[in-house]
A and B are shown apart, each in its own frame.
Chain A
Amino acid sequence: MIRVQGTPFDPGAEIKSFLGRNPNSGGIATFIGQVRDFQPVQNSSSSEVTSLELEHYPGMTEKELERIVEDSFTRWPLDDALVIHLYGQLKPGDSIVLVCTAATHRGDAFASCEFIMDWLKTKAPFWKREQTQAGTTWVDARANDTERADRWAKD
């Protein structure tokens, strides 16, 4: 299941409900991404992030997340998967993204959860803009995210 929403969610409540829907899965993996309170700045220590805005591409975002989740089902024998992603104004400590995967064994749950996050980071059309004391800046994509996503490329 995919949910892209502008209102906050409670990760604990979502995980509990996911467990309730999958009582017979032996392994459940979860990942929660939160808003950091700092942005590393080149040639200085760091600067404090006061708020974060997440822009997205309505329509394509949902389709792309669906495609990623469908792909994960072709790679691992999964019982269920859930992705919740926020957009709009967020503040440090807010949960941005939740991924839950359910499988018979933990290996498939761990791997699919990581795969969904790695592909989401490089494919789902979201863009972060951070507000710090120094002003507002669009966050640059990280080469490391592309490298992580490429690990899952099929031959």
Chain B
Amino acid sequence: MAVKVLYFSWIKEKVGAGEELLSPPDSVETVSDFVDWLRTQSPAHDSAFENLKQIRAAVDQVHVPLESRIGLAKEIAFFPPVTGG
């Protein structure tokens, strides 16, 4: 099933796109699985997700830990730790 994937900050720059519509295989069950699969998509994706300590994720606009399940998510976002305020 297709899911909207969003990237922010330097992850967006490294991937080279802010948004993609992707259809991961059924074996992708968690956000962490999704990252592993993303890294196989291109050298740019691979480099963007090199350091997992710097990766945060949101599923359908709610912060989630990387080990959480994707379920029927419509939107997954990846970004570095936030720096607002």
Residues of A at the B interface (CB closer than 8 Å) are 33, 54-57, 59-60, 63-64, 85, 96-97, 117, 120-129, 138-141
Q: Which of chain A's residues has its CB closest to B6's CB?
A: A57
Query: Which of A56, A59, A63, A138 is close to B84, meaning CB atoms less than 8 Å apart?
Result: A56
Query: Which of B58, B62, B79, B82 is close to A122, meaning CB atoms less than 8 Å apart?
Result: B82
Size of the B side of the interface (Cβ < 8 Å), in residues, is 16
Contacts of A85 in B (CB 8 A): 84-85
Interface of A is mostly: mixed
The answer to whether A128 and B84 touch across the interface, beta carbons within 8 angstroms, is yes
Q: Which of chain A's residues has its CB closest to B9's CB?
A: A127
Closest 9 CB pairs of A and B: A126-B84, A141-B81, A60-B61, A127-B9, A121-B85, A128-B83, A139-B83, A124-B84, A138-B10
Within 8 A of A (CB), among B1-56: 6, 8-10
| A103 and B8 alpha carbons, distance in the complex (Å) | 36
What are 14 inter-chain pairs, A to B, with CB distance below 8 A? A57-B6, A57-B8, A59-B61, A60-B62, A121-B84, A124-B85, A125-B8, A125-B77, A125-B79, A125-B84, A127-B84, A139-B83, A140-B81, A141-B82
Q: Given A59-B61, A127-B80, are A97 and B9 also a contact pair (CB < 8 Å)?
A: no
Residue pairs across A and B with CB atoms within 8 Å: the count is: 70
Residues of B at the A interface (CB closer than 8 Å) are 6, 8-10, 58, 61-63, 77, 79-85
Contacts of B84 in A (CB 8 A): 54, 56, 85, 96-97, 120-121, 124-128
Contacts of B63 in A (CB 8 A): 64, 123
| A121 and B82 alpha carbons, distance in the complex (Å) | 7
Chain B: minimal CB distance from A93 (Å): 16
